[in-house]
Amino acid sequence: MAILWNNENTLGYSPKSKQMVIEAYESVNYYPDSMSRDLKQALGEKYGKKEQEIFIGNGSESVLMYTIRAVCSGEDEFLTSEGSFIIVYNWARINNIRCVAMPLTENYGFDLETIKSRINRNTKIIYLANCNNPTGTMITRKELDSFMRHIPDYILVVVDEAYYEYSEALHPNFPNSLEMDYPNILTLRTFSKAYGIAGIRLGFGIGHKKIIESLNKVKITFEPTVMAQAAGMGALNDTEFLKKTINNNTQQLKYFYKEFDRLGIKYIPSYANFIMTMWKDKEEVMKMFEALIQRGVLVRPLYDPISHCIRITVGKPEENQHCVEALGSILS
Ligand SMILES: Cc1ncc(COP(=O)(O)O)c(C=O)c1O
CA of 190 relative to ligand 1 center, distance in Å: 7
The pLDDT value recorded for residue 223 is 98
Contact (CB, 8 A) for 240 and 269: no
> Nearest CA to 110 among 63, 159, 156, 72?
159
Query: 180, exposed or middle or buried, with CB in 10 Å at 0-12, 13-18, 19+?
Result: middle
The pLDDT value recorded for residue 247 is 98
Q: Which of 56, 86, 87 is the best mutation target for the ligand 1 pocket, counting ligand atoms within 8 Å of the beta carbon and taking the most?
A: 87
The pLDDT value recorded for residue 51 is 98
| pTM listed for this prediction | 0.98
The pLDDT value recorded for residue 86 is 96
The pLDDT value recorded for residue 83 is 98
d(CA 196, CA 189): 13
Pocket of ligand 1 (CB under 6 A): 7, 59-61, 85, 129, 133, 160, 162, 190, 192, 198, 203
CA of 263 relative to ligand 1 center, distance in Å: 30
Which atom, in ligand 1's list, is nearest to the CA of 7?
Answer: 14
Number of residues assigned to the chain? 332
Residue with the smallest CA separation from ligand 1 atom 3 is: 162
Provide the residue type at 188 as one letter: L
The pLDDT value recorded for residue 10 is 97
Residue 208's CB is within 10 A of a number of other CB atoms, namely 15
Which atom, in ligand 1's list, is nearest to the CA of 134?
Answer: 16
Provide the residue type at 320 as one letter: N
Q: Which of 160, 164, 275 is the best mutation target for the ligand 1 pocket, counting ligand atoms within 8 Å of the beta carbon and taking the most?
A: 160
d(CA 251, CA 246): 9
The pLDDT value recorded for residue 152 is 96
The pLDDT value recorded for residue 297 is 98
The pLDDT value recorded for residue 295 is 98
Q: Which of 61, 89, 200 is the best mutation target for the ligand 1 pocket, counting ligand atoms within 8 Å of the beta carbon and taking the most?
A: 61
Helix axes 86-94, 60-71, angle to 10 degrees: 40
Measured at the alpha carbon of residue 119, what is the angle toward residues 116 and 121, in degrees to the nearest 5? 155
The pLDDT value recorded for residue 251 is 98
pLDDT in tens, the chain (332 residues): 999 999 999 999 999 999 999 999 999 999 999 999 999 999 999 999 999 999 999 999 999 999 999 999 999 999 999 999 999 999 999 999 999 999 999 999 999 999 999 999 999 999 999 999 999 999 999 999 999 999 999 999 999 999 999 999 999 999 999 999 899 999 999 999 999 999 999 999 999 999 999 999 999 999 999 999 999 999 999 999 999 999 999 999 999 999 999 999 999 999 999 999 999 999 999 999 999 999 999 999 999 999 999 999 999 999 999 999 999 999 99
